[in-house]
């Protein structure tokens, strides 16, 4: 299974000719969705979900499907069963790749900011993408996409999150708010070998870089 990192929170997973794209938001090159079989969208915030771009992609490719939470699905009316609303505990399959759904809520930002719903996707029992939450996937995972920076993140919580999930590998994402210096400080100096210790190997892929993962 091949993972390619795109802008910010977007990754593309390819296996045996099937391609899934998670969270192609406004910080993501449109090339990420070209030829994809399915889009998986964790929540409605624009850095994860660009409605007009998704509509264009669905109109351009009649075979493209979307799996997302109910709030996003309700914004994509007009595509019938091609857009499926899923929630915590659901599971589905795309081209032989199994996906399970975990979590319900976006991490709190501030008491004055209403919370939105958020789902995480466990792909092929191997890669977990939590969206904007520190959701525990409830089963061992090999590779965890870990959000590095946002108005809701605290670096100490990320350390504890990796300690709880204990993946074999963590890959940084959701980094658009960080400078190059900040990326190194949060990733290498806190989540990596120079930090207090998380029990997992930490790495980072720049946009366009890929990695081979071991699936089930």
Please, what are the averages of pLDDT over each run of 10 residues along the chain (216 residues)? 96 97 94 95 98 96 97 96 98 97 97 97 97 95 97 97 97 96 93 92 96 78
The predicted pLDDT at position 215 comes to 53
Instruction: Tell me how crowded residue 161 is: count the other CB atoms within 10 A of its CB.
Output: 21
The predicted pLDDT at position 189 comes to 92
Angle in degrees, CA 87, 88, 89, rounded to 5: 110
The predicted pLDDT at position 183 comes to 94
The predicted pLDDT at position 138 comes to 85
CATH of 2-205, one of 3.30.390.50, 1.10.4160.10, 3.60.15.10, 1.10.490.10: 3.60.15.10
The predicted pLDDT at position 214 comes to 78
The predicted pLDDT at position 87 comes to 98
Reported pTM: 0.96
């Amino acid at each position: 299974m091949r993972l390619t990192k795109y802008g910010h929170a977007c990754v593309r997973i390819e296996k045996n000719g099937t391609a899934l794209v998670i969270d192609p938001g406004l910080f993501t090159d449109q090339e990420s969705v070209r030829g994809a079989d399915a889009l998986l969208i964790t929540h409605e915030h624009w850095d994860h979900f660009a409605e007009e771009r998704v509509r264009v992609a669905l109109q351009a490719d009649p075979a493209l499907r979307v799996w997302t939470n109910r709030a996003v699905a309700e914004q994509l009316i007009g595509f019938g069963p091609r857009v499926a609303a899923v929630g915590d505990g659901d599971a589905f399959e795309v081209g032989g790749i199994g996906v399970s759904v975990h979590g319900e809520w976006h991490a709190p930002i501030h008491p004055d900011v209403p919370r939105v719903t958020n789902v995480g996707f466990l792909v092929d029992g191997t890669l977990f993408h939590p969206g904007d939450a520190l959701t525990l996937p409830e089963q061992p995972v090999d590779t965890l996409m870990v959000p590095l920076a946002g108005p809701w993140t605290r670096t100490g919580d990320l350390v504890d999150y990796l300690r709880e999930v204990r993946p074999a590998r963590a890959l940084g994402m959701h980094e658009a708010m960080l400078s190059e210096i900040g990326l190194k400080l949060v990733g290498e100096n806190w989540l990596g070998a120079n930090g207090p210790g998380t029990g997992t190997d930490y790495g980072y892929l720049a946009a366009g870089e890929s990695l081979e993962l071991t699936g089930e």
